[in-house]
Structure 1
Amino acid sequence: MELIYKGSVKDLYKKNSDNLVFEYSNRYSIFDWGEMPNEIPQKGEALASMAASFFEYLAKKGYSSHYVAAASPTSIEVQSVNVLRPEWVEGQYDYTIYQDNPTHCLVPLEVIFRKHLGQGNSLEGRLKKNPAYLKDLGLNEVPNGETTFTPALVEFSTKLETSDRYLSRQEISEMNILSETELQALREQTQIISSELEKLFASFGVKLWDGKLEFAFGARKANGDRELLLVDSIGPDELRLTYEGLPLSKEFLRQLYANTPWNDAVKKSKELAQERKSQDWKAICKDELGQHPQTLSTEHIEVSSLLYKALANEVAGVVGRTKPFASELNLKLWHQKAQKALELV
């Protein structure tokens, strides 16, 4: 197979003219940095198992995706979709390439859903700064940390830019990448899928707070709109989960880095890049602020690995697939070890 893309977490291989293979690595990425200095043992195997579990589970519920089959313990086979990247022109991204309503390509939006807010959420602060955004979200007042949304609240952000940015309805309309009815379908499908995932996680004591999904445009329908296919991957790197009060997702890794100089520098460098209308905030972080991500301790690596393995076991057991790891690797064991690890941060 031909390697066509090496990402921060997974690699893409071309299998044939129609299909790709997602090879999940033990690498991880937080705060949009890309590949971090450590690897997490068996993370790739856990992510591949969970992706297969979730896509197969949703297929039984009637939701289309690009998933074809599990390919190996660390990979899945998927249908290929084109990625049409916007051009950087005069300090902004140009989405002209989407104006002809292409099919069989990635929707250049990340779709964020929120079931529960929680303290310290970003939405509350953003709405206070921009009250006009309330109407976009169908809200009458600014929510707080105790707010629960039924159905899920859905937001949209950029997907193919160097830093994600939330988008208003007006901004999406000006990008001219999809119709109003396609945007509504994207919102409704996300709400239904998030509800299915919430019920699945609740069956083994895990709370789903929020997450992000990605879609592709499929074939054109009779009304001129395009079908929507769920793509990319589903797992703890795309979802925010908790188990008995502890973060059971990439948020756990974020907390391990929360009080580091590098994390502070990332925030500052993104602000500076926005002011300068620059894409390269990482260069500012590395070259101007002199900060790189620190390596994790052996203990933190071990408990992070257990997070992925335990969750993969739980998900596989619920959807009827074979557990990928020893059965004693479960969430109760992870919770005991994670409590100790976070106390040292």
Structure 2
Amino acid sequence: MEKKELLYEGKAKKLYKTDEDGVLWVEYLDQATALNGAKKDAVSGKGALNNQITSLIFDRLKDEGIPSHFIEKISKTEQLVKFVSIIPLEVVVRNTAAGSFSKRLAIPEGTSLAFPIVEFYFKEDRLDDPFINDDHVRVLSIATTEEIQEIKALAKRVNDALRTLFQKAEIRLIDFKIEVGRDTDGGILLADEISPDTCRLWDMKTQEHLDKDIYRRDLGDLVPVYQEVLQRLAD
């Protein structure tokens, strides 16, 4: 397969066309960002780690029957994915209070929630990705009522699978963000990535951060932490 012209360059990835219809080529970048890009640094080795972690997780989710755009990992920093039309939502699932959720509702970080909460954020950098509800999603014509329910059900299935996967690695899944898209038939698929960039992960025994909060909160070096997550998942 041949990589063609660049279609998109984001904060952490580049997306290329290929010579095969409906297949895109993703390259993960050695870049860390936070606060919607306000904080940004080059971090050698990060792209390879996120690509490998995401590829491993998507393969495990496929085993659970969870549909995604992922096809295969083709190098340490690259993978092939199916073309999907990304729905402009960040879908966040929370199992434990942390981050903006704790600040917004004055619930101490680390407080287990009675049940997983699914939140929507409008994916629009100009508006700082605001928190929105189901009615906002419908008014903005982002998704139909039926699609909203399908997205929430998919997010909960992903949550169940990820909690089991991370628990085996002695990692506590605090919360995570996913993106979804429509395939050419209009079906809803999991898209983008699942990595310590998009998940809040704590060590089960020490409660130490194993995610991008290391970078976001200036707690230390990101790469050894991501290496630890990859190693535990691969064991």
- TM-score normalized with structure 1 length: 0.62
* CA distance in 2: counterparts of 1:304 and 1:127, whole angstroms: 28
Match among 138, 157, 177 for residue 121 of structure 2: 157
Which residue number corresponds to residue 122 of structure 1? 100
* CA distance in 1: counterparts of 2:101 and 2:216, whole angstroms: 18
CA contact (8 A) 2:212 2:222 kept: no
* CA distance in 1: counterparts of 2:155 and 2:8, whole angstroms: 27
User: Helix, strand or coil for the counterpart of 1:115?
Assistant: strand
Match among 234, 244, 263 for residue 194 of structure 2: 234
Deviation, 1:171, is 1.5
**Root-mean-square deviation over aligned CA pairs:** 2.0
Which residue number corresponds to residue 320 of structure 1? none
Deviation, 1:233, is 0.6
CA contact (8 A) 2:36 2:125 kept: no
Which residue number corresponds to residue 66 of structure 1? 69
CA contact (8 A) 2:6 2:16 kept: yes
Deviation, 1:35, is 7.1
Q: Determine what percentage of the aligned residue pairs are the same residue.
A: 26
CA contact (8 A) 2:197 2:211 kept: yes
- The structure with the largest alpha-carbon Rg is 1
Deviation, 1:124, is 5.1
User: Helix, strand or coil for the counterpart of 1:72?
Assistant: coil
Quickly say closer, same or farther: Cα 1:144–1:311, change in 2 above 3 A. Answer: closer
Residues 124-146 of structure 1 deviation map (CA, whole Å, 9 limit, x = unaligned)? 55458xxxxxxxxxxxxxx6652
| 1:24 equivalenced with 2:24 (yes/no) | no
Which residue number corresponds to residue 151 of structure 2? 186
| 1:5 equivalenced with 2:8 (yes/no) | yes
Q: What are the residue-to-residue correspondences of 1:35-50 with 2, within 5 Å?
A: 36=40, 38-50=41-53
Letter in 2 for 1:307: V
Match among 204, 214, 235 for residue 252 of structure 1: 214
CA contact (8 A) 1:43 1:309 kept: no
- TM-score normalized with structure 2 length: 0.89
* CA distance in 2: counterparts of 1:314 and 1:70, whole angstroms: 19
Once superposed, which parts of structure 1, at least 4 consecutive aligned residues long, lie more than 4 Å away? none
Letter in 2 for 1:306: P
Quickly say closer, same or farther: Cα 1:127–1:204, change in 2 above 3 A. Answer: closer
Quickly say closer, same or farther: Cα 1:189–1:203, change in 2 above 3 A. Answer: same
Gaps of 5+ in 1: 82-104, 129-142, 221-225, 258-299, 318-345
> Which is strand-richer, 1 or 2?
2
Match among 316, 323, 341 for residue 234 of structure 2: 316
Deviation, 1:246, is 1.3
